[in-house]
Amino acid sequence: MSTSMIQLLVLAGIAIFLILRLRSVLGTREGFEKPPLPRETARPGPAFEVIEGGGVDRDITDHVDEGTTAAKALARMKTVEPSFNVGEFLSGARGAYEMILMAFERGDLADIRPFLSDEVYQSFAEVVEAREAQGLTIDATFVGVSGVDLREAEFTESTKRAELTVRFIGELTSVVRDRGGEIVEGDPNAIQRQSDIWTFARDMGSDDPNWQLVATGE
C-alpha cells in the first residue's frame, strides 16, 4: 500500500473519531438529500431578552401541558419575573442555536463564550483543539431550524435559578477537510438533519437578561 493511501486512511479514521466525538457533544445527525431550503430572512438576536406578551396561562399552556411540573415551574418563573415570556424565550433560543452551533463548527468560540457555562465551553474547546491538532476543519452552512419545542422546565425557589430544556431540529451541510483542503468526511450537497437537546439556565429577576447553555445532549 502506498504512503499516500496510508495517510488518507489515517485522516479518514481521525475524521470519523472526531465526528463521533462531536455527536457526543452536540447531538445526532441524519443525512439526507434534498434541495437547499431558503434561509429565514430574520431571526431574533442572541441576547434572549423577553418582553411581556399575552396571558400568562396561555403562554405556558401553548408550550407545556397544563398542571404538569414544567407548567408549575414556568408559573413560578413568571411570579419572580413577570416580564418573562416563554414564547419569546424560545424565539431567542432558536437564534442562539444557530449562532452557537455554527461557531462550534467553525471552531470560533470567543464570541459565544458568554453564552456557555464553564463545563459546556470546556467540552466544545476540547473538540475544537483536537480538530486543530490534526489539521482538520469543518466547512458548514446552516440551512434552518425545522423544529423547536420545550421539553422540561425546572425552577429552584431558594436560588431563583431557572433551567429550560429545549429540543432543536436543525438542518445544515457539513464536510470535514484535511490540511490540503480535501474532503475526508461528508458531502457538501447533502443536508444533514441534526437533533439537539440543550438546557439553558438563568437566575430569574437578575439584571442580566442572557441565558447560558449549561448542558447538551441528543
Residue whose C-alpha is closest to residue 96's, from 2, 214, 180? 214
Q: Give me the mean pLDDT over the 130-148 stretch.
A: 96
What topology does CATH give the domain 3-217? Nuclear Transport Factor 2; Chain: A, (3.10.450)
Query: How confident is the model at residue 80, as a pLDDT?
Result: 97
Mean pLDDT of the chain: 82
Judged against a pLDDT cut of 80, whether residue 155 lies above it is answered with yes
- Between 7 and 213, whose confidence is greater? 213
Residue whose C-alpha is closest to residue 46's, from 4, 91, 103? 91
Residue whose C-alpha is closest to residue 86's, from 53, 119, 116, 43? 53
Neighbours of 104 (CB within 10 A): 23
Q: Which of 51-55, 160-164, 183-187, 190-194 has the highest mean pLDDT?
A: 160-164
Could you tell me the pLDDT band of residue 57, with boundaries at 50, 70 and 90?
Answer: low
Query: How confident is the model at residue 218, as a pLDDT?
Result: 80
Q: Give me the mean pLDDT over the 101-110 stretch.
A: 96
Q: Give me the mean pLDDT over the 122-131 stretch.
A: 96
Q: Give me the mean pLDDT over the 184-191 stretch.
A: 95
Rounded percentage of the chain residues whose pLDDT exceeds 90: 73
Cβ neighbours of residue 43 closer than 8 Å, sequence gap 6 or more:
94, 95, 98
Q: Give me the mean pLDDT over the 50-54 stretch.
A: 40
Query: How confident is the model at residue 59, as a pLDDT?
Result: 95
Q: Which residues of 140-166 are buried (b: 16+ CB within 10 A; e: fewer)?
A: bebbbbeebebebbbbeeeebbbbbbb
Name the residue ranges covered by the structural domains of the chain.
3-217
